[in-house]
Chain A
Amino acid sequence: MEVGQMQRRLVDYTKSLFMEGFLDAQFLQLQQLQDESNPDFVVEVVSLFFDDSEKLLNDLTMALDQPSVDFKKVDAHVHQLKGSSSSIGAQRVKNACIAFRSFCEEQNIDATLRCLQQVKQEYYLVKNKLETMLRLEQQIVAAGGSIPMIELGF
């Protein structure tokens, strides 16, 4: 596939992530921060988000698996995931965290378990999408092309 085609594919794919609500405007902020002095910024920060989120999801699973659930601890983990997902622009993960927190406040064990599943699902979805997007970018750069900046007006 030649570079122009790859670039068009990347633009369409990235746009679809915004249209489907996986990413929001905050992600564009990150892309704009990337420059020649730090050309891997987005990859680095996204990788950090993946590592950190996986730890948080493990902690959440363990915390909800206790005979007596410490909802304050659960809430603290969800709060952190909400903060990092919103800072990255992972909108659907953030929204799942918002719902999760309200059930933590109610100390509703069944609902919080369902929320955990929901958050995990959204997380793995966006992880998959971002990895695909970053792979496309790598292929373009490897072929000598540049990453097109997308302009959104909808």
Chain B
Amino acid sequence: MLIIQTKSLFLFHLYISQLWLLFFNTMNPSNGNGSMSTASSSGAWDGRDQFPAGLRVLVVDDDPTCLMIFEKMLKACLYQVTKCNKAETALSVLREHKNEFDIVISDVHMPDMDGFELLKHITSEMDLPVILISADARKQVVMEGVTYGACDYLIKPVRIETLKNIWQHVVRKKARNTV
């Protein structure tokens, strides 16, 4: 049996969370908007009350269909989304805009630089949690990803419910860093 959340219920929840966000935005006008991250110069979480709304996500996938779907899903989660279709571009964006992202989501199999290489660069140069995504569910590939430091490895197709929980990786990393 297939159980589907009705569109009206989904929209209702989205509407309520948007209302909540609007309420806090009027109370705390310092939070930024838009798809390119120019949020807070301090790089830290300003609006803790709105969290995880406004989570600054960089998503990387060379497949345009998947990239479009991810962007829509992440925006529906009320995250601030920046998308890239190349790992090299993603790396330059991250280097130029340090502290302006909270989490990176990257596809594994990409031409030129792949997700593993991107992951290695990010873990050595920055302190950002990286989630890998792939249609490849083979254990050795997943193992490699996790061993190299991916905080999670998701198998396509990814559901929006999964993306709603990614903020946990950000919190977990910050908590570990402060210990």
How many residues on B have C-beta within 8 angstroms of the other chain's C-beta atoms?
Answer: 32
Of the candidates A41, A49, A52, which one forms a contact with B72 in the assembled complex, judged by CB atoms under 8 Å apart? A41
Does A29 contact B160, Cβ atoms closer than 8 Å?
yes
Does B160 contact A33, Cβ atoms closer than 8 Å?
yes
Q: Is B69 an interface position by the 8 A CB rule?
A: yes
Q: How far is the CA of A55 from the CA of B6 in the complex (A)?
A: 35
Does B64 contact A149, Cβ atoms closer than 8 Å?
no
Which B residues lie within 8 Å of A32 (CB)? 5, 7, 10, 160
Which A residues lie within 8 Å of B107 (CB)? 83
Does A84 contact B63, Cβ atoms closer than 8 Å?
yes
Q: How far is the CA of A76 from the CA of B109 in the complex (A)?
A: 8
Q: State which residues 112-143 of B face A: CB under 8 Å.
A: 134-136
Contact with A along B1-17 (1 / 0, CB 8 A): 11111111011001000
Does A48 contact B3, Cβ atoms closer than 8 Å?
no
Q: Is B22 an interface position by the 8 A CB rule?
A: no
Q: How far is the CA of A26 from the CA of B158 in the complex (A)?
A: 8
Shortest CB distance A33–B (Å): 5
A44 with B68, Cβ < 8 A, contacts A29-B160, A33-B73 known:
yes
Does A29 contact B159, Cβ atoms closer than 8 Å?
yes
Shortest CB distance B117–A (Å): 16
Q: How far is the CA of A79 from the CA of B137 in the complex (A)?
A: 11
Which A residues lie within 8 Å of B95 (CB)? none
Contact with B along A34-68 (1 / 0, CB 8 A): 01001001001100110010000000000000000
Which B residues lie within 8 Å of A35 (CB)? 11, 14
Q: How far is the CA of A84 from the CA of B10 in the complex (A)?
A: 24
The 8 closest A-B pairs by CB, nearest first: A83-B135, A84-B65, A152-B2, A149-B7, A86-B157, A26-B157, A49-B65, A87-B157
A contact set with B: CB distance below 8 Å: 25-26, 28-33, 35, 38, 41, 44-45, 48-49, 52, 76, 79-80, 82-84, 86-89, 149, 151-154
A-B contact pairs, 15 of them (CB 8 A): A28-B4, A29-B157, A30-B69, A33-B72, A41-B72, A48-B64, A80-B109, A82-B135, A84-B63, A84-B66, A87-B66, A87-B69, A149-B6, A149-B7, A151-B6
